[in-house]
Chain A
């Protein structure tokens, strides 16, 4: 149990590739922390650097109150679960789980006992004599977790813990993982490219791009107030609508009409500013009647999502997506007026992409996202 602090961490590869770029981060003791981003953003490099499998070019790393920057991986008191679980194929499940103890010199009887205990907590007791190849995906994952748990580390590191499981299994495993981490209370950092996973599991998320953290916050913060266009377009199972426009008085002129400037942005923009108006499909209402402050367009496509439908509305030469509840599906070709829900629209600066808003009351107290 410990917290994790990264200061000024950079990892530069020969050839100039900056996998991790001058990063500062603090993970609180007991926190379930997510590193989220598209492939190539540096999240896995960062995780491996924390583990000690990569050495940082500059910067410092501490776990608890120990500076571990120069320490080899085995001495950092971390446990890592790899994407492919890395269960040793030639050892039984029991030997696999007991392996960290074997390295520490624990006697055979004792370490087998401990392994069996840990395995029991993860419903693996009947599988102890099997080889990893004989286990299902979910069982392999639990075995890998057991091996990480048995060493009682200060920090857990998970590299894409759910991506090797079938879609069905993934949801079960997600709930399981969340409960496990809460019960164990061990500080956990995990890497994922799946934003839904990060939102569901994490206490806090660092959204990364090209080696830098673009936003650091709780799932709610990251979902409701993405700090920039990158985060806005990355988070959310249905992509946020991002409409380029120009400020004119109290409104933003966008294709299809004009919308009111979001309350948070009032006073921070001037006439003529190029901006991007962002609103999630879930936060728009589609009506067949004209409405004030609405965007006008024509219904083009209706996609059935089960309990709702995703409707694509053509507005000028852009398409705006809106979700409508079941039973309210419009006809193709019908006119539609889209009204943003109050307080749910966001305004971004065109070009730089930053959110135009005063720092909110619920902003994180820790150092804000690196620009």
Chain B
């Protein structure tokens, strides 16, 4: 085969590159187009089309008895899990970081292992039965407890890393000046690690916001179900799906988590998605 002129080769390569990029962009963008066009389309169909611009679809959110309430449930569950995970996780992380408890490293390793192994899917049966026996079925608090349990190992791990990186000299300095342990925590430690705590809180919310399985098996009353579960009922009920409702609801449900994700990403970058530490 004759060697092509390098300029031609380069041109072909560039054409190939841009074709590939265009194909990828189309592949990823197409399914999402509906989400940005349908809510504003006076006559939404299943295919995204240039919207006949209107905001009346949003009325469907108000008209449906479960829509807004489920978003509120999502807020409650995600917020509750975040608060509980941050408080319990921060206390544990501080203790593990500062005090030499026997078996600390082994404990962390086991915790990490646990959280990867005992996923919602693998544990749905015993969780379901456990909550049933504890009479916590159909309880949002129960959902919060279960989800927090799943978040804690990773939260502790990240917070401990954060605390380890905070110089101990602040606490020692305060101690030599006579501060009691609780004063040290209140005056010194908490203000310094506050940004880390905020980030973990947001990370927890992002993780819980989209969780479907646990609320699905534990909550029966649609009044208590979060958006993830209620959303599904909108398109699996018999008959024609109410596209006005589904489209606006999807948008309302998606926007908060996208915004929060951007926040976490800007602060901590890739670190929170696992993988290589930068």
A residues touching B (Cβ–Cβ < 8 Å)?
A: 51-53, 72-75, 78-80, 82-84, 86, 88-90, 99-100, 103-104, 147, 151
- Is B191 touching A90 in the complex (CB atoms < 8 A)? yes
A-B contact pairs, 16 of them (CB 8 A): A73-B172, A74-B175, A74-B177, A74-B179, A79-B176, A80-B173, A82-B172, A82-B173, A86-B172, A88-B188, A88-B191, A99-B174, A99-B187, A100-B178, A103-B174, A103-B179
Fill in one digit per residue for B181-215: 1 if any A CB lies within 8 Å of its CB, else 0. 00100011001100000000000000000000000
Interface presence of B53 (CB below 8 A)? no
- Cβ–Cβ contact B167 & A78, under 8 A: no
In the assembled complex, the Cα of A298 lies from the Cα of B80 at a distance in Å of: 82
**Cα A78 to Cα B177 with chains together (Å):** 8
Could you tell me the distance in whole angstroms from the C-beta of A359 to the nearest C-beta in chain B? Answer: 39
Q: Give Cα distance in the complex from A80 to B178, angstroms.
A: 11
The interface of chain B, by Cβ under 8 A from chain A, is: 167, 169-170, 172-180, 183, 187-188, 191-192
In the bound assembly, the distance between CA atoms of A79 and B187 in angstroms comes to 18
- Cα-based distance from A72 to B183 in the complex (angstroms): 15
Closest to B167 in A: A84
What residues of chain A lie closer than 8 Å to B192, measured between beta carbons?
88-90
Nearest-Cβ distance from residue A88 to partner chain B, whole angstroms: 6
Point out the residues of chain A lying under 8 angstroms from B179, CB to CB: 74, 103
Question: Given the complex of chains A and B, what is the CA–CA distance between A128 and B44 in angstroms?
Answer: 62
CB distance from A153 to the nearest CB of B (A): 9
Chain B residue, CB-CB nearest to A84: B169
Residues of B within 8 A of A90 (CB): 191-192
Q: How far is the CA of A86 from the CA of B173 in the complex (A)?
A: 7
Instruction: Tell me, rounded to whole Å, the shortest Cβ–Cβ distance linking A190 to chain B.
Output: 15
A133 to chain B, nearest CB (A): 12
Give the distance in Å from the alpha carbon of A72 to the alpha carbon of B178 in the complex. 8
Most buried by A among B172, B176, B180: B176
Q: Write out the residue numbers on chain A whose beta carbons fall within 8 Å of the beta carbon of B177.
A: 74, 79, 99-100, 103, 147, 151
Nearest to B190 among chain A residues (CB) is A90
Query: Which of A74, A84, A88 sits near B178, CB closer than 8 Å?
Result: A74
Q: With contacts A82-B169, A86-B167 known, what are 5 further pairs, Cβ within 8 A?
A: A51-B176, A74-B178, A86-B169, A89-B192, A104-B178
A212 CB, nearest partner CB in chain B, Å? 25
Chain B residues with CB under 8 Å of A83's CB are: 169
Cβ B178 vs Cβ A75 within 8 A: yes
Using A90-B191, A90-B192 as known contacts, say yes or no to A80 and B176 having CB atoms under 8 A apart.
yes
B175 touches A53 (CB 8 A): yes
How near does chain B come to A186, taking the closest CB pair, in angstroms?
Answer: 15
Residues of A within 8 A of B175 (CB): 53, 72-74
List the B side residues contacting A79 at CB < 8 Å: 176-177
Residues of A within 8 A of B167 (CB): 84, 86
Chain B residues whose CB sits within 8 angstroms of the CB of A51 once the complex forms: 176
Q: Is the CB of A88 within 8 A of B176?
A: no
Q: Which residues of B contact A99 (CB under 8 A)?
A: 174, 177, 187
Which residues of the other chain, A, contact B174 by a CB distance below 8 angstroms?
88, 99, 103
Task: Check B178–A52 contact: CB distance below 8 A.
Answer: no
Other-chain contact of A78, B169, B172, B176, B183 (Cβ < 8 Å): B176
- Beta-carbon contact of B183 and A52 below 8 Å: no
- 5 closest A-B pairs by beta carbon, nearest first, are A74-B178, A86-B173, A86-B169, A100-B177, A90-B191
Residues of chain B with a CB closer than 8 A to A84's CB: 167, 169
The CA-CA distance from A148 to B176 in the complex, in Å, is 10
Identity of the chain B residue whose Cβ is nearest the Cβ of A52 in the assembled complex: B176
Inter-chain CA distance A177–B153, complex, in Å, is 48
Measured CA separation A247–B114 after assembly (Å): 73
CB distance from A235 to the nearest CB of B (A): 29
- Contacting residues, chain B, for A73 (C-beta < 8 A): 172, 175-176, 178
Residues of B within 8 A of A80 (CB): 172-173, 176
